Amino acid sequence: MLNKDLVVEISKSKKEPEWMLQIRLRALELFLKTPLPTWQIPSLKDLDFDSISYFNPQNIRATSWEELPSDLKRVYKKMGLPEAEQRWLGGTIAQYQSEGIYAKLKEEWQRKGVIFCSLDDAVKKYPELVRKHFANVVPVDDNKFTLLHYAVWSGGSFLYVPRGVEVNFPMQTYFFMKDKREGQFEHTIIIAEEGASVQYIEGCSAPVYDANSLHSAVVEVYAKDNGKVRYSTVQNWSKNVYNLNTKRAIIGKNALMEWVGGSLGAKVSMLYPSTVLAGEGACASHLTITLASKGTVKEGGAKVIHLAPHTRSTIISKSICIGDGHGVYRGLVKIAKGAYDSVSNARCDSLLIGRHAKSDTFPHSDIQETKGTSFTHEASAGRISEKQLEYMMSRGIREQDAMMLYVSGFITPILKEIPLEYAIELNRFIQIEMEGSIG
């Protein structure tokens, strides 16, 4: 039951300070009063907020092979993932690193003053630092789902990189969350102080079963002046999941923010990572691959707001719709008054593979400053043409292989930015999904 008692219980069990409890309670109050959004394409009417389990210090995952849905078992088999592999059932990250390497890396980052721990821990260990950065990039009342999130959030990472520190190895969540992954209401805060740079990776390309069907995570990123943050994520939740996250970055002078994402799974997803270019010379790049497989509606996109002059943004979105999958791109590029000499380029392509596949593109642009600014947006939708397929086949390539070759090429610009181990699995997963539905 989603009520005040539940929220108080969550806060108490975490031994949170009073200010955090107040945020939760305020969020809950507003959430209960706010109606569901209606502008989106997927239907959210099946969401039953009272039946979701919000309070589970241990994640609810399948603990036996038998419990898994059969289509998931089929995919695991095809990907060659052994039944016994607990980490798949546990929903943790693709890679496993040896304790020794982990210890060494931990020692290095601690020496540099980097803080990397769960947000639950950070609230208690670094209260001022957290309080200063919590709920500022993504305000509590941003949308109905952030309201829910702020009421019941649990888990997530806190990554703080001090001034001038450049972290050369990617920070991955499994460093401290090998067994305790709580996907659904995670809150992550990443802070790169002036001149700092860091890469953060999370997610899983292989399909992960989660009995929890609502995910409403929030990610807040600060890249201060001359800071650099790259946030890479690949998600492949099972087909019962509604993935409705809010991710935003605010970046300063000459800072760089890179969002790289693969959205493969879930029944419904609404993901529009956004970057606010607050400082002069800031740059943002948004790269996404979205797979809308059978029976899914996947909304994705990007929001970029240029507030300062000399800023740059690039958006590349590639979506593949299989079966009757429905891919939707919703973008917003705003160049505010005063943001002169700013340039934004967006490109979104949809490949409709299934006979009943659908694609919608809604690219809003709001150009308030026209001095020296330039905005371009290009989009395309359609299938691989017969002529192209025949040509490839005339070179001896089977139809199925030709389609796969084309699709691989289609997603390559983004695939090459995704960490290798995820990329390989992502590619393999898409192949399997396509095999199941060519024609």
Partner 1 sequence: MRIGYFTGKAEYADFIGNELLINIPRDKQVILTLITLYSGRVRINLGANSRLLLSAIDMSKEENHSIDMNVDLSKNAKCITTFNFKGESTETKYAFSANTARNSHIALNTIMGHKGKFTGVISTKIRSGAHSLVNCLIAPLSGSTTNLNISADHMESNSSNSIELAGYAKKGDRVDFEGKIYVPKGLKDVETRMNGRFLSVEGASVHALPILSIYSRDVRASHGISVANLSIDELNYMQSRGIALEDAYAIAEQGLLSSMLNKMAKTFEL
Partner 2 sequence: MVDGGIMSKEKLEVKNLDVYVGKKQVLYGISLEIGAGEIHVLMGPNGSGKSTLANVIMGLPGYSVKGKLLLSSKDFSKMSIPERARAGIFLAFQNSPEIDSVKNVNFMRQASLSCGKNVEASQFKREFEEALNRVGLNAEFYDRPVNFGFSGGEKKKNELAQLIILNPKFAILDEIDSGLDVDSIKRAVNIVKALAAEGKGILLITHSPLLLKYLTPKRIYVMSNGRIVKHGGSEILSKIEREGFTAFDKRM
Is the distance from CB of 177 to CB of 118 less than 8 angstroms?
yes
Q: Which is nearer to partner 1, 89 or 282 (CB)?
A: 282
- Interface with partner 2 (CB under 8 A), residue from 76, 109, 259, 410: 410
* Contact partner at residue 397 from partner 2, partner 1, none, CB < 5 to 8 Å by partner kind: partner 2
Task: Give the Cα separation of 318 and 227 in Å (integer).
Answer: 28
Residues in the interface with partner 2 (CB under 8 A) total 21
* Contact partner at residue 15 from partner 2, partner 1, none, CB < 5 to 8 Å by partner kind: none
Q: Is 327 in the site for partner 2 (CB under 8 A)?
A: no
Q: Which is nearer to partner 2, 121 or 399 (CB)?
A: 399
Which residues within the stretch 360-389 sit at the binding site for partner 2 (CB under 8 A)? 385-388
Q: Which is nearer to partner 1, 9 or 366 (CB)?
A: 366
Burial 294-324 (b: 16+ CB within 10 A, else e): bebbbbbbbbbbbbbbbbbbbbbbbbbbbbb
- Interface with partner 1 (CB under 8 A), residue from 40, 365, 412, 437: 365
User: Judged by CB under 8 A, which stretch of 53-61, 197-205, 283-291, 353-361 contacts partner 1?
Assistant: 353-361
Q: How far is CA 29 from the centre of its chain?
A: 27
Nearest to 214 by CA among 156, 148, 264: 148
In whole angstroms, how close is the CB of 75 to partner 2 at the nearest point? Answer: 24
Task: Give the Cα separation of 436 and 438 in Å (integer).
Answer: 6
Q: CB 72: neighbour CB atoms within 10 A?
A: 18
The residue type found at 282 is A
Q: Is 379 in the site for partner 1 (CB under 8 A)?
A: yes
Length of the chain: 439
Task: Give the Cα separation of 206 and 12 in Å (integer).
Answer: 35
* Contact partner at residue 370 from partner 2, partner 1, none, CB < 5 to 8 Å by partner kind: partner 1
Is the distance from CB of 91 to CB of 238 less than 8 angstroms?
no
User: Judged by CB under 8 A, which stretch of 93-101, 232-240, 256-264, 356-364 contacts partner 1?
Assistant: 356-364
Task: Give the Cα separation of 378 and 394 in Å (integer).
Answer: 31
Alpha helices in 332-398 (DSSP H): 386-393
Q: Name, in order, each residue with C-beta under 8 angstroms of 326's C-beta and a sequence gap of 6 or more.
A: 41, 42, 292, 296, 297, 298, 357, 358, 359, 360
Q: Is 407 in the site for partner 1 (CB under 8 A)?
A: no
Q: Is 406 in the site for partner 2 (CB under 8 A)?
A: yes
Q: CB 385: neighbour CB atoms within 10 A?
A: 10
Burial of 263 per CB tally in 10 Å (0-12, 13-18, 19+):
buried
Nearest to 232 by CA among 268, 190, 276: 190
- Interface with partner 2 (CB under 8 A), residue from 58, 70, 98, 394: 394
Q: Is 319 in the site for partner 1 (CB under 8 A)?
A: no
Q: Which is nearer to partner 2, 152 or 392 (CB)?
A: 392
In whole angstroms, how close is the CB of 285 to partner 2 at the nearest point? Answer: 20
Q: Is 33 in the site for partner 2 (CB under 8 A)?
A: no
Beta-bridge partner residues of 117: 158
Is the distance from CB of 265 to CB of 235 less than 8 angstroms?
yes
Q: Which is nearer to partner 1, 238 or 342 (CB)?
A: 342
Looking up tokens 């991710």 gives 247
* Contact partner at residue 365 from partner 2, partner 1, none, CB < 5 to 8 Å by partner kind: partner 1
Q: Which is nearer to partner 2, 58 or 394 (CB)?
A: 394
Q: Is 391 in the site for partner 2 (CB under 8 A)?
A: yes
- Interface with partner 1 (CB under 8 A), residue from 383, 412, 421, 436: 383
* Contact partner at residue 395 from partner 2, partner 1, none, CB < 5 to 8 Å by partner kind: partner 2
* Contact partner at residue 238 from partner 1, partner 2, none, CB < 5 to 8 Å by partner kind: none
The number of C-alpha atoms within 13 Å of 14 and in the hemisphere containing its C-beta is 26
Q: Which is nearer to partner 1, 12 or 355 (CB)?
A: 355
Q: Is 356 in the site for partner 1 (CB under 8 A)?
A: yes
Q: Which is nearer to partner 1, 56 or 370 (CB)?
A: 370
- Interface with partner 1 (CB under 8 A), residue from 170, 295, 382, 409: 382
Q: Is 404 in the site for partner 1 (CB under 8 A)?
A: no
First vs last C-alpha separation in the chain: 45
Task: Give the Cα separation of 83 and 138 in Å (integer).
Answer: 40
Structure tokens at 38: 């209606």
Nearest to 332 by CA among 299, 304, 361, 369: 304
In whole angstroms, how close is the CB of 256 to partner 2 at the nearest point? Answer: 27
> In Å, what is the CA distance from 109 to each residue of 127, 397, 411?
20, 49, 34
Q: Is 392 in the site for partner 2 (CB under 8 A)?
A: yes
Which residues would be at the binding site for partner 2 (CB under 8 A)? 385-388, 390-399, 401, 405-406, 408-410, 412
Which residues would be at the binding site for partner 1 (CB under 8 A)? 341, 343, 350, 352-368, 370-383, 385
